[in-house]
Structure 1
Amino acid sequence: MELKVTKYRIDDDGVATVWFHRPGRGNSWTNLMNTEYRWIMNTLDRDPKVRVVVVTGTGDQFCVGADTKALNFYTTNDRDYADTVDQSHAAQPGAGVNDEFETDLIWHWGLRVPVIAAINGACAGIAAAIVSFCDLRFAAENVKFTTSTPRLGLPAEYGLSWILPRIIGTTHSADILFTGRIVYSQELDRMGFLNGLFPKDELMDEVYKTARMIAEQVSPASVTSAKRQMYSELLHLSPRSAIDGSKGIIDHFMRQPDFQEGIAAYNERRAPRFADPVLEPRP
């Protein structure tokens, strides 16, 4: 696919970086960006060399939300919104894992690779939902974050009413979702939304430290399994099934080469050399 509003690269250490790339428009979100982003993430997830993905924005902004031209379109057009954003024709990243994950944004949870949001600048509207469905979130200091929707006469969008209370609780979620106010990254950090907060000129270095630790020091199969366990168990909320189910998974993993390598590396006080992931067949 020819990429016009996104870009990506894969480093030798297995860390992939994806950029929302409309710097002249605040990296604002469009249907084309959605299509390209889905294609990139599907491509990276199917590449056994990729161990972790970092998502960020080009320049000084992460993504300022939906493009204002697109929003203006809906004030003069009576087309059904769902039809205008239909992505059934596009790549389907994360498919085949859990039916609940096979829709916009929550497909991040179906990916085998962990996804780290590096929030380098303004993050608004749909971008607030995107980073909420990433696995880890790091931000630069003094970054502005807002859902925007109540100030535009819109409801909570793209699952924010479901995911935010599970990350930061109902008290903080009600504040963010009902007011649509600008929340700075320092406050997001206090709320527990972020995994780390750094000066702007240090953000990407710190993000890549975490990304490279995942890429180089942990078993890809173990990370994928933990990701699948965590998000699936969020849905059924049964601690007994989580514990009992994990026993069978532990038994399987103890019979795999990565377990033997992990124990050997620990005993020999060296870095482990885990095998590349074995990719699952996907639809």
Structure 2
Amino acid sequence: MELKVTKYEIDDHGIATVWFHRPGRGNSWTNLMNTEYRWIMDTLDNDPTVRVVVLTGSGNQFCVGADTKALNFYTTSTDDYADTVDASAAAQPGTGVNPEFETDVIWQWGLRVPVIAAINGACAGIAAAIASFCDFRFAAEGIKFTTSTPRLGLPAEYGLSWILPRIVGLTHAADILYTGRIVYSEELDKMGFLNGLFPRENFMDEVYKVARMVATQVSPASVTSAKRQMYADLLHLAPRQSIDGSKDLIGHFMRQGDFKEGIAAYNEGRPPRFGDPAIGEKV
């Protein structure tokens, strides 16, 4: 696919970096960006060399939300919104894991690889939802975050009413969703929305330190399993099911090469050399 509003690269550690790439437009979201982002993530998830994905924005902004031209279109259009953003013809990353994950934004939970949101600048609207459904969230100091929707006469969008209370609690979620106010990254960090807050001047360096740890020091199959266990457990209130299911998985993993390598590396006092993840394996 020819990429016009996104880009990506993969380094020697298996770290893929994906950029929302409309720097002249605040990396604002469009249907084309959605199509390209889905294609990139599907490609990366099916690449056995990729261990982790870092998602960020070109320049000094992450993504300022929907493009203003698109918003203006809807003030006069009679088209049904759901029809205008139908992505059924686009790539469908993360499918086959859980039917609850097979829709916009939350498909990131169905990916094999963990996704790190590196929020390097303004993050608004749908970008707030995209970041919320990533596995890790890091932000630079002083960045602005807002859902925007209450100030545009819109409801909470793209699952934010479901995910935010689970990340920051009802009190903070109500504040963010009802007011649509600008929340700075320092406050987001105190709310528990972020995994880390770093100075702007070395922000991406700090994010890549975390990405390298995930890419080089842990079993990719173990990460995939933990990701799928965690999000599946969010959807039910059955701790016994979680415990008993994990025991079955432990038995399976103890017969795999990564377990033997992990124990050997521990006993020998050296870094482990884990194998490539099993592409397509549904844990």
Whether these two folds match at TM > 0.5 is yes
Amino acid at match of 1:5: V
**Using the alignment, how far apart are the partners of 2:17 and 2:210 within structure 1?**
13
Aligned residue in 2 for 1:280: 280
* Cα displacement (A) at 1:90: 0.1
**Using the alignment, how far apart are the partners of 2:281 and 2:223 within structure 1?**
18
* Cα displacement (A) at 1:133: 0.2
Q: How does 1:1-283 map to 2 (within 5 A)?
A: 1-280=1-280
Aligned residues: 282
* Cα displacement (A) at 1:237: 2.2
**Using the alignment, how far apart are the partners of 1:242 and 1:97 within structure 2?**
16
* Cα displacement (A) at 1:277: 1.1
Identity of aligned residues (%): 81
Which string of whole-angstrom CA distances, capped at 9 and with x for unpartnered residues, describes residues 146-171 of structure 1?
Answer: 00000000000000000000000000
Which string of whole-angstrom CA distances, capped at 9 and with x for unpartnered residues, describes residues 135-194 of structure 1?
Answer: 000000000000000000000000000000000000000000000000000000000000
Amino acid at match of 2:37: Y
**Using the alignment, how far apart are the partners of 2:87 and 2:280 within structure 1?**
23
Amino acid at match of 2:179: T
Amino acid at match of 1:45: D
**Using the alignment, how far apart are the partners of 2:76 and 2:253 within structure 1?**
56
TM-score (norm 2): 0.99
Aligned CA-pair RMSD: 0.8
Amino acid at match of 1:7: K
Which string of whole-angstrom CA distances, capped at 9 and with x for unpartnered residues, describes residues 68-94 of structure 1?
Answer: 000000001010000000000000000
**Using the alignment, how far apart are the partners of 1:29 and 1:280 within structure 2?**
29
**Using the alignment, how far apart are the partners of 1:201 and 1:45 within structure 2?**
30
**Using the alignment, how far apart are the partners of 1:279 and 1:175 within structure 2?**
41
**Using the alignment, how far apart are the partners of 1:164 and 1:155 within structure 2?**
14
**Using the alignment, how far apart are the partners of 2:21 and 2:38 within structure 1?**
14
**Using the alignment, how far apart are the partners of 2:60 and 2:223 within structure 1?**
31
**Using the alignment, how far apart are the partners of 1:60 and 1:279 within structure 2?**
34
**Using the alignment, how far apart are the partners of 2:237 and 2:86 within structure 1?**
31
**Using the alignment, how far apart are the partners of 2:195 and 2:276 within structure 1?**
27
**Using the alignment, how far apart are the partners of 1:231 and 1:127 within structure 2?**
20
Which segment drifts farther, 237-246 or 84-93? 237-246
TM-score (norm 1): 0.99
**Using the alignment, how far apart are the partners of 2:211 and 2:281 within structure 1?**
25
Which string of whole-angstrom CA distances, capped at 9 and with x for unpartnered residues, describes residues 32-74 of structure 1?
Answer: 0000000000000000000000000000000000000000000
**Using the alignment, how far apart are the partners of 2:129 and 2:46 within structure 1?**
24
Amino acid at match of 1:161: S
* Cα displacement (A) at 1:202: 1.4
* Cα displacement (A) at 1:240: 1.0
Q: Which runs of 5+ in 2 are unaligned?
A: none
**Secondary structure of the residue that 1:197 maps to in structure 2?**
strand
Amino acid at match of 1:90: A
Amino acid at match of 2:224: T
**Using the alignment, how far apart are the partners of 2:2 and 2:112 within structure 1?**
25
**Using the alignment, how far apart are the partners of 1:149 and 1:278 within structure 2?**
40
* Cα displacement (A) at 1:281: 6.7
Amino acid at match of 1:247: K
